[in-house]
Amino acid sequence: MAAEHTQRGVVFVHGLFSSGSTWDQFRNLVAQDAELRPFETLTFSYVSRPAVLNPQRRLPSFDDVADNLRGFLEVDARHFGNVVLVAHSQGGLIVQRYLSRMLHDGRGLELARIRRVVLFACPNLGSELALSLRRAIWRGRHPQEHQLRPITQAVTEAQRTVVTRIDHATAGAADQCPIAITAYAGDTDNIVTSASARSVFRDVGVLPGDHSTIIRPDSSRHRSYTVLKHLLLMDPPTWKRPGGGSDVTETRSGDLTVGPGTQKDDTLSSTIGAPASSSRVVVGSADPQVHAPRRVTEWSARLLGVKPAIEAKGAQGDLPRYVPRDHDRELRLALRETATNGGLVVLEGEPSTGKSRSAYEALTAELPDWRLVRPHTAKDLDELVTSGSSHTVVWLDDLSRFLDAPGGLTAADLLRLIDAYPPIVFVAALWPGSYDDSAERSGAADGSALSEAREILRLAKIVSVAEELTESEWAAARSAAAEDPRIAAALIGADFGLFQTLAGAPVLLRRWRGGDPYGRAVLNASIDALRVGGPEVLTLDYLRAAAPGYLTSSQWARATPNWLDSALAYCAERVDGATAALSPVSGVLAGSTVGYRLADYLLRVGEQHRRFSSVPTEAWRALLRTVVEPQILGRIGWNAEWRLLYELAHDFYTSAGQDGVTRRAALLTHQGLSAQALELLEQDAQKGNAAAVKALVSQKWPTDTGPEDVVARLAPYVSEHPSAAEEVARALDRLGRTEESIHHWVGLAEHNHSRAVKIAVGHLLRLDRRPDALELLRNHAGSDPVGARPLLVRLLLEEKTEAGRTEAESWLRRWLEEGDSLGLLPDLLLDQGRLREVEELADLDLDRARDSLVGYWADRGAADPESARRAVEICRRWAKEKNGEWVLLHLLTRLGRTEEAVEAAVTFEREHGANDDLNAVITSMLVDQGRVEEVRARADSGDSRAQSVVAEQLMASGRIAELGQRAARGELPACQLLSDWLGERGRVAEAVSLWHQWAESSAGGYRYPLFDFLERHGLDDELMQLLEAEREPLGKRNGRRLARLLVKKSRIAELRDRAAGGDPYADAELVSHLMEHGQYEEACQRAVAGSGAATRMLLAEAGSGRELVPGLMRHGLRLDGSVAVPHSASGRKRN
């Protein structure tokens, strides 16, 4: 079926004692996020309750759940062309077990559609606190809990497989598959330590929140949500779309960019000068004093990028009255904090939402006497910042301009400037799209623009500027309107926000959609240039060459000789004093104009409406002729490649010079021209192109290439390129040349290669060269704490000599002083009976020492009551410290003093607040003790874990009436069980009524369970009626539902209308419909126009061996949608 394997899916996997509803907040935010429309979410649920009340049932083991996940992905998620797995806590171990079992079964190639894995608070090294508590509570009776114990063999083996054969894999095979893995820890997580959550994965981070709240985003600005969104919007370097390709980001408009994107915030409109032709943009300033340092209060808001407002009769002053915003307090606090030690403050928000004005007002209020400089490029920063000694504000305005530019701002540069004294405060703005493209992106190579952007934004204080006004802001606006006619006029408009109206958004749209066809052609050419990754400033040469492609033949025939001048005048006119649709950009010489910048609001709206509109030949060719920056040429080339326009893509990559070599080679490989790709890469590698060497190493070699050839072809690059040295070392291993291989691995270790030390040590041990292995580990214990240190300790202890134990202890104590406990020293001391020393470590709040002591005391407590009494006394002393209450709770349960344990847990909950894991622990202990009424009391108070247990108990005992009462009170577990029970008995109408009642009583009218139930039971008419009546935007899940229903009801015309309006779900369903009905020509045309769905479906079919469009993979498409089979006379070879 043509619709198979074409969509993007996110599969959420919950943790121990949890359920699929754990992810509801994440799923709702994803569904409501227009930028994540290509993604559909599913939850994988499995039985993981604190206890099973039905004696005929058992709890599944990890292997059971992993195999269940495999079946879920193969059946329920089969329609996803690529998948992102997102897991919390134990769910991360299940995902790793699934991946490991697939590789052990020789099914590595089947994992290729998994783009990445995201782990939140996964106990990769076991849980030191609450999970060790569970270990005591269930005493080994829970088959999943056992896997959470620190460093169990099964977990370790699975993780070793995942780390070595997935996270560090370079190519797909039966026993390996490269998948990017990102692991996050919670900064206040008492359940899973940061070291355990991050483990040895390459891409790791820390997020705000504890073990529960890390996956409870309360808004789209919550850090856990934003980092997941960033990861979803970026294809990692490990993932290749069918046929190869390179890193790709799908932007909100559906177009693709390489790098942080091209959406820009409008900056200062320069003085309008006479049009002047220029092929190369060299942006300068007509006034050399514009960027000169001066006091904050000496700058005008307009010179700092605050947009001109609409004109109104009786308005006074250059700016309308300032309307106080809710974010002002946060912004001013951020400025006060950075004024002390320096720093970067970034305002994030949609265009024309008041970012620059808010920053101007805040600086005027907080730092009026500081000097302010406005650099034009990153290269200006040093000179501008160091030109004086007083406190300095650096106004960057559009941060993307400094991040994207070749040789742009780096994190090192920023840190150096921030660390200057007196302090320096940087102020900048970003669109949400730009922030999503830059922040928290795993997989960006060190030193790349994306990596630098990520590091810079980690240093920043982010202040979000909302597009919609709050009630207090509306009240302030109405108050200001009484004295400012501009604000009064803006409040009258109902179709636009206040600040968009003040900035002239309605006027901009009228100019774009207005009656002048030549002005509209120029604006459409500008929008399309940015859609496909073109430069921010569009030259006159580009507009002159591209605009005719947007005119009909009759319009072009009627054009006057000065048609372009008239069109530019039309577009650059500021109606009612507002921002112009196109703003001239001045050059170095006074009065010169080097190009035009499109208004950011018009770009945002225009790219949405032209999302699936074809870019004419004239625009592509004009970009190829006028753009000179290699980075931008490569970006445009990738957009052409994504539209399957391979000939154009090759042209742009070739024009990009060295910057385009690796992308061109990847495209050649995708086309089945591997030999030409290798030849191209080798030619550039010999010229010293580091990117070409890296690509050559990871290139798919011809099947007849032996390890000798690999050594010969990569040997010239070994000394300068570690990736080449690694591949040569592996080839030498295959040849049995072990000594030479060890030499290369040792060399890689000197360059801090992540696995080199362990591999070299493994070789040495196999050669029975243990002393050499120990010496190597000693030399690298400082630089490789993750790999070398545990291995060194293990080898020393394996000697079973006093000298070995003494040296191991010496290393462990040294590392402990450095803050790296490894969790091994307490066990080593206990094995030697040195209990007092372990207690001293525990008094220092070393978690592993306390956990080890609890196990030691519990094992001896029954036989030695005095020892147990002393242990409880010590734990009560620790209970006053952070995490100490958990240790006491653990010990009490291990000693069998369960009633005391319950009281301690309830006290802890009362003093520190509840979380999902604590709720599960308390509920389980109450169930174990038969204290059913207390479980019900907790359920009545809103404890979701207790509600699940009570609902299960009522269902198991057939007490449906009581279950209905709880459902009527809005308890979600009861609603879910009761609706399923009603549906199984054909009482669907009652179940629908139940979900209607639940939706009406839920916060915000949450109706997804209702929609899910209607869809599951085939109630299409009612579902469509509800979807069409929705007042709020449908979001991804419901948008896709409606599109599918339109196809099901054969309302294809409506589907086409929605797709034409930029609805990506309608586009995806339309393309699927076209493919199923053999209308491949139109599907190809939609791919050329920019439909990502069409591209994915066509490539998926071709990649599966069913090339429905002959020649597509080899030749790509022409602009008319036909296959670009070369004419016999022009069968030139690419080289």
Q: For a pLDDT cut of 90, what percent of the chain falls above it?
A: 22
| Tens digit of each residue's pLDDT (9 = 90 or more) over 829-855 | 877 878 788 777 777 656 677 777 777
* pLDDT at residue number 501: 62
Q: Which residue reads 């492609």 in tokens? A: 549
Mean pLDDT of 579-605: 80
Give residue-wise pLDDT tens across range 1020-1062. Answer: 999 999 888 877 667 778 888 999 999 999 999 999 988 887 7
Give yes or no for residue 81 having a pLDDT over 90. Answer: no
The pTM assigned to this predicted structure is 0.62
pLDDT at 251: 36
Given a cut of 90, whether residue 928 has pLDDT beyond it is no
The lowest-confidence range among 88-102, 687-701, 967-981, 1120-1134 is 1120-1134
Ranges 169-183, 246-260, 625-639, 672-686, most confident: 625-639
Distance CA 659, CA 836 (A): 62
Q: How far is CA 223 from the centre of its chain?
A: 11
Q: So what's the pLDDT on residue 153? A: 54
- 3-state class percentages of the chain: helix first, strand second, coil last, to nearest 5: 55, 10, 35
What is the model's pLDDT at position 668? 93
pLDDT score recorded for residue 287: 40
pLDDT at 390: 57
Above pLDDT 70, what percent of the chain? Answer: 77
- Which whole number is the average pLDDT over 716-742? 84
Those residues whose C-beta lies under 8 Å from the C-beta of residue 743, and which sit 6 or more positions away, are none
Q: What average pLDDT does the structure give for the chain? A: 78
Residue 496 predicted with pLDDT over 80: no
- Which of 12-26, 286-300, 381-395, 859-873: highest mean pLDDT? 12-26
For 345, the enclosing helix (H) or strand (E) is strand 343-348
Q: Rounded to whole angstroms, how far apart are CA atoms 101 and 643?
A: 37
- Identify the CA nearest to 26 among candidates 249, 203, 224, 173: 224
Report phi then psi at 186, rounded to 5.
-95, 135
Please say if the pLDDT value at position 1135 is more than 70: no
pLDDT at 307: 66
Given a cut of 50, whether residue 438 has pLDDT beyond it is: no
Residue 246 has pLDDT above 90, yes or no: no
3-state class (DSSP) for residue 753: coil
Per-residue confidence at 1, pLDDT binned at 50, 70, 90? Answer: very low
What average pLDDT score do residues 964-969 get?
90
Give the pLDDT band (50/70/90) at residue 643: very high
**Structure-block tokens of residue 597:** 């910048």
User: For the segment 529-548, what is each residue's pLDDT rounded down to a tens digit?
Assistant: 999 999 989 999 999 999 99
> Which residue segments constitute the domains of the chain, with CATH numbers given?
7-243 (3.40.50.1820), 294-500 (3.40.50.300), 711-819 (1.25.40.10), 1019-1135 (no CATH)
- Note the pLDDT tens digit of each residue in 781-791: 877 666 788 88
DSSP E strands in 534-663: the ranges are: 537-538, 582-586, 593-598
Sorting pLDDT into bands at 50, 70 and 90, what band is 204? confident
What is the predicted pLDDT for the residue at 147? 44
Q: Which residues pair with 584 in a beta bridge?
A: 596
Return d(Cα 245, Cα 236) in angstroms, integer: 11
Residue 664 has pLDDT above 90, yes or no: yes
pLDDT exceeds cutoff 80 at 1091: yes
Which pLDDT score is estimated for 226? 85
Output the CA–CA distances (angstroms, integers) from residue 525 to 189, 256, 258, 515, 997, in the order listed.
51, 17, 21, 17, 51
**Per-residue model confidence as pLDDT tens digits over 298-353:** 887 777 777 666 556 666 666 777 888 888 888 999 898 888 878 889 988 877 77
416-437 pLDDT per residue, tens: 677 666 788 999 888 765 534 4
Would strands 249-250 and 256-257 be described as parallel, antiparallel, or unpaired? antiparallel
Q: DSSP letters of 23-82? A: GHHHHHHHHH-GGGTTEEEEEE-----S----TT-----HHHHHHHHHHHHHHTTTTEEE
Least confident of 143-147, 978-982, 1007-1011: 143-147
Which tops the pLDDT comparison, 179 or 495? 179
Q: Confidence band (pLDDT; 50, 70, 90) for 125?
A: low
> 938 by DSSP, 3-state: which?
helix
Whether 196 has a pLDDT exceeding 50, the answer reads yes
Q: Does residue 492 or residue 10 have the better pLDDT?
A: 10
Rounded Cα gap, residues 890 and 135, in angstroms: 9
DSSP state letter for 171: S
Task: Confirm if 145 and 81 have CB atoms less than 8 A apart.
Answer: no
pLDDT at residue 937 tops 50 = yes
Is 1070 a residue whose pLDDT tops 70?
Answer: yes
pLDDT, mean of residues 1112-1125: 92
Given a cut of 80, is residue 441 above it in pLDDT?
no
Q: Calculate the alpha carbon distances from 649 to 652, 654, 656 in Å.
A: 5, 8, 11
pLDDT of residue 504: 60
> For the chain, what is the radius of gyration of the CA atoms?
32
Which range of 48-62, 367-381, 856-870 scores highest in mean pLDDT? It is: 367-381
